[in-house]
Amino acid sequence: MAYVKPEEIVENMLQAGAKKASLPVKQLLIRGFLAGAFLGYATTLAILAATQTGWGIAGALVFPVGFVMIVLLGLELATGNFALIPIAVKDQRTPFSHLLRNWTW
């Protein structure tokens, strides 16, 4: 198994924050709407799995699939923007105005 150094993880987070901050508004909206749809599908599927099987754990195992799909497809969630863009601003990889624009939309 490959070992990833913490410095590499932080560097990737800074790059992701700068990339998220520079996305055009159209991309933000499209990616945000799609992420919401996937979370809606995941929630519905989790509730269906829990009610059909009678086991709450079945729903708990199915729900994270929605988050995995969001990450793999590169979609936008507000929580990711709240976490990654401020550290990119602090590291001066993106201006504060991009953070405000992103959070406003």
- pLDDT tens, position by position, 21-69: 999 999 999 999 999 999 999 999 999 999 999 999 999 999 999 889 9
How does DSSP classify residue 87? H
Cα distance between residue 88 and residue 105, in whole Å? 18
Q: What is the pLDDT of residue 31?
A: 94
Report how far apart, in Å, the C-alpha atoms of 71 and of each of 50, 67, 84, 95, 102 are: 24, 6, 14, 25, 18
Confidence of residue 2 (pLDDT cuts 50, 70, 90): confident
End-to-end CA distance of the chain: 40
